[in-house]
């Protein structure tokens, strides 16, 4: 492998589609794993609060919110090949935004704060994408990752230094979220609310990615130059998916703020955005369910291990991550999911698509 270790090359596809007809044929005949997996997880998630103790349900709610956050990163990295190391910027900004709404204006209605958080994430991501991705020269992956990381770092620093935003301590004791006159506190109610939102956004993303737009994105990830050659405006596609993912991160951030009852600078900073990279890589980028599974496993393990092995848990996490990157670059999901099914197919039939491909 060392023969190619020079200079800067165009980013090779991290995720290789199964190209050989033989593999494709082998998978075409099998039962589909993905829908079964999704359904099983949904059922498990639906009955979880009934069997879990209350404090674990609260923890599980947090995990679901983080799943939503992980989805947003998976959309940009797993599907469009944009390495956003500052995804927490949108998560945290939305969190701070709704916290301010609640603190300064007393707004806590779910119909106000969720759209507000989503909008904050969307606008912030759109602006950042407009700067980082659009322009005369196409931006390199390294530049975009550096730019997003700097964004998160800068936001973290500024929030820490700002009295208005509560400095180091963040904004504590946010009022509970309300639906009409009903106050939503931690527990099964909040859990099912988050689960519903997660499922809705999951389905929307799934629909989006299996559409014409998703097809163009998949092409973008596999071979950017070819897609540009076909006449797609590559940078626009990237900016759109980046903004969408920002909106999802914003939704997650506003939910998180109200669930935890406070926001603090870590939500904005590099710590949070590297955590989400970890979730997605662990579970498997390029599949929506991989992001969810990765988050659940990492958070589950940390819940279980951090009690007994608080000090060495982060080290274990690092080692596990390294092993996954080295030996399972497609994440844990690749253990059960075949190549063909992971990439998915678009349009009427596989055969047609392959004939149409150059």
Partner 1 sequence: MDTLVIAMFEILSFGAIVVLVVLGLGIIASMMGIFNFAQGEFVLLGAYVTYLVHSVGLPVPLGMLAAPVVVGSLGFVVEKLVVRRFYAAPIVAMLGTYALGLIIREAVRGLTGGLYLSVPEPISGSITIGSLHFAAWRGVIVIITLLVMAASHALLAYTSFGLRVRASLENPSLARASGISTGMIYSVTFAFGAALAGLAGALIVPVFSLFADLGIRFLIQGFVAVMVGGVGSFAGPVAGASVIGTFSAWLPWLMSPVIADVLVFVLAIIFIKFRPQGLISGRGVNR
Among 22, 311, 335, 355, binds partner 1 (CB under 8 A): 311
Residue 15 or residue 195: which is nearer to partner 1 going by CB?
Answer: 15
Distance CA(112)–CA(97), nearest Å, equals 12
Distance CA(183)–CA(194), nearest Å, equals 15
Q: Which 262-281 residues touch partner 1, going by CB under 8 A?
A: 270, 274, 277, 281
Q: Does 89 bind partner 1 (CB under 8 A)?
A: no
Instruction: Draw the binding track, 143-182, toward partner 1 (x: CB under 8 A; -: no contact).
Output: x-xxx-xx--xx--xx-xx---------------------
Residue 316 or residue 350: which is nearer to partner 1 going by CB?
Answer: 316
Residue 52 or residue 146: which is nearer to partner 1 going by CB?
Answer: 146
Residue 105 or residue 327: which is nearer to partner 1 going by CB?
Answer: 327
Beta partners for residue 184, in sequence order = 177
Among 47, 322, 349, 354, binds partner 1 (CB under 8 A): 322
Distance CA(98)–CA(283), nearest Å, equals 30
| Minimum gap (Å) between residue 137 Cβ and partner 1 | 6
Q: Does 127 bind partner 1 (CB under 8 A)?
A: no
Residue 9 or residue 181: which is nearer to partner 1 going by CB?
Answer: 9
Distance CA(261)–CA(214), nearest Å, equals 36
| Minimum gap (Å) between residue 281 Cβ and partner 1 | 6
| Minimum gap (Å) between residue 83 Cβ and partner 1 | 6
| Minimum gap (Å) between residue 332 Cβ and partner 1 | 15
Helix (H, G, I), strand (E, B) or coil at 82: coil
Residue 46 or residue 162: which is nearer to partner 1 going by CB?
Answer: 162
Distance CA(93)–CA(29), nearest Å, equals 46
Q: Does 200 bind partner 1 (CB under 8 A)?
A: no
Give φ, ψ of 346 to 5 degrees: -125, 155
Q: Does 3 bind partner 1 (CB under 8 A)?
A: yes
Q: Does 56 bind partner 1 (CB under 8 A)?
A: no
Distance CA(189)–CA(178), nearest Å, equals 12
With CB under 8 A, what is the number of residues at the site for partner 1? Answer: 49
Q: Which 279-308 residues touch partner 1, going by CB under 8 A?
A: 281
Residue 129 or residue 193: which is nearer to partner 1 going by CB?
Answer: 129
Residue 7 or residue 348: which is nearer to partner 1 going by CB?
Answer: 7
In sequence order, what DSSP letters do the residues of 171-216 get, joined into one string?
Answer: B--PPPEEETTEEE-TTHHHHHHHHHHHHHHHHHHHHHHTSHHHHH
Structure tokens given for 326: 């080295």
Structure tokens given for 149: 């990381």
Structure tokens given for 55: 């404090």
Distance CA(247)–CA(205), nearest Å, equals 12
Structure tokens given for 17: 């589609």
Q: Does 51 bind partner 1 (CB under 8 A)?
A: no
Residue 31 or residue 168: which is nearer to partner 1 going by CB?
Answer: 168
Place of tokens 């848990």: 313
Helix (H, G, I), strand (E, B) or coil at 253: helix
DSSP state of 109: B
Are 139 and 133 within 8 A, CB to CB? yes
Q: List residues binding partner 1 (CB under 8 A).
A: 1-9, 11-12, 14, 83, 131-132, 135, 137, 139-143, 145-147, 149-150, 153-154, 157-158, 160-161, 270, 274, 277, 281, 311-312, 314-315, 317-319, 321-322, 325-326, 329
């Amino acid at each position: 492998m060392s023969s190619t270790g020079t200079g800067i090359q165009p980013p090779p596809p991290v995720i290789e589609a199964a190209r050989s007809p033989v593999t494709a044929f082998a998978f075409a005949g099998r039962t589909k794993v993905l829908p079964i997996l999704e359904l099983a997880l949904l059922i498990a998630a639906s009955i979880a609060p009934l069997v879990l103790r209350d404090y674990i349900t609260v923890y599980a709610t947090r995990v679901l919110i983080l799943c939503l956050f992980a989805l947003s990163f998976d959309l940009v990295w797993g599907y469009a090949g944009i390495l956003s190391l500052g995804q927490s910027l949108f998560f945290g900004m939305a969190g701070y935004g709704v916290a301010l709404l609640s603190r300064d204006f007393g707004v806590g209605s779910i119909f106000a704060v969720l759209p507000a958080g989503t909008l904050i994430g969307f606008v912030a991501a759109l602006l950042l994408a407009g700067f980082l991705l659009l322009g005369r020269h196409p931006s390199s992956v390294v530049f975009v990752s550096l730019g997003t990381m700097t964004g998160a770092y800068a936001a973290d620093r500024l929030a820490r230094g700002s009295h208005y935003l509560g400095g180091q301590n963040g904004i504590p004791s946010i009022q509970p979220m309300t639906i009409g006159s009903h106050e939503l506190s931690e527990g099964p109610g909040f859990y099912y609310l988050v689960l519903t939102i997660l499922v809705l956004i999951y389905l929307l993303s799934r629909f989006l990615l299996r559409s014409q737009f998703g097809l163009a994105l998949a092409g973008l990830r596999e071979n950017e130059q070819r897609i540009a050659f076909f006449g797609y405006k590559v940078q626009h596609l990237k900016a759109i998916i980046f903004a969408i993912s920002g909106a999802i991160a914003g939704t997650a951030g506003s939910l998180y703020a109200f669930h935890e009852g406070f926001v603090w600078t870590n939500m904005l900073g590099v710590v949070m955005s590297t955590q989400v990279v970890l979730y997605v890589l662990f579970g498997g980028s390029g599949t929506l369910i991989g992001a969810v599974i990765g988050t659940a496993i990492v958070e589950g393990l940390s819940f279980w291990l951090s009690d007994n092995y608080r000090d060495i848990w982060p080290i274990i996490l690092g080692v596990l991550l390294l092993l996954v990157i080295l030996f399972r670059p497609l994440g844990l999901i690749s253990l059960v999911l075949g190549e063909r099914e992971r990439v998915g197919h678009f349009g009427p039939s596989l055969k047609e698509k392959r004939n149409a491909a150059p």
